[in-house]
Amino acid sequence: MFIPPAYAELAYGATHTDTGQEALTAIAVHLEAADPATVITGAAGAWTDTFSTIISDVWIQGFVRMSIGTSDPSAPIVGELTFADWGNNTTDPCPPQVCTLLRKITASGGRKNRGRMYLPSPGEAGVDAAGNFSDTQHDDNQENATTFLETLQAIDGVTGVFLLHTDDDDDPTEIVGLTAVKKVATQRRRLR
């Protein structure tokens, strides 16, 4: 993925204790006179204050990896911070492939201006047999998504949260909201 100068991709990841599977989700920020240590610490705090409460504690060895774009696209500046509370929900988890889906909302239309974040293993107690979150759990998911976005935007030196594109010619698209989907999702792999 191309990361333009003055932008940073924040990739959040962890490992499942039973299966060894890795989970990874990402979002980007625009930086202006930002201290990388402040940004990565704030990004880790944004995660632990919001999403760790709705993700099962079977996910360990959590990290946030920040890749800052430079004028040489093949050489981003990369830093990583590990943290313990990637997931700390102690209720029985849904199977590893079941996720909470968040849609990245932008002010631009079209397929390429949409994005998704998958948060693995929500608590089973908040999901019914049809795969829908209870109203209370859905409201919690939405509140956490909104708070996460606001917390990222409030980090000193961050001037916006963005969706990066695979095409180098496309400018990043600003994310104006994260919307929690009422039904659980599975992240599919596309075969080509």
pTM, 2 dp: 0.90
d(CA 180, CA 134): 12
Each residue's pLDDT, cut to its tens digit, for the chain (192 residues) gives: 689 899 999 999 999 888 888 889 999 999 998 889 999 999 999 999 999 989 999 988 899 999 998 888 778 889 999 988 788 888 898 887 889 999 999 888 766 677 899 999 898 889 999 999 999 999 999 999 999 999 999 999 999 999 988 777 778 999 999 999 999 998 765 444
Q: How many other CB atoms sit within 10 Å of the CB of residue 78?
A: 13
Tokens at residue 81, please? 């911070």
The residues spanned by each domain of the chain are 7-186
| Amino acid type, 43 | A
Residue with tokens 């760790």: 52
CA nearest 159: which of 180, 174, 145? Answer: 174
CA nearest 26: which of 127, 130, 126, 102? Answer: 102
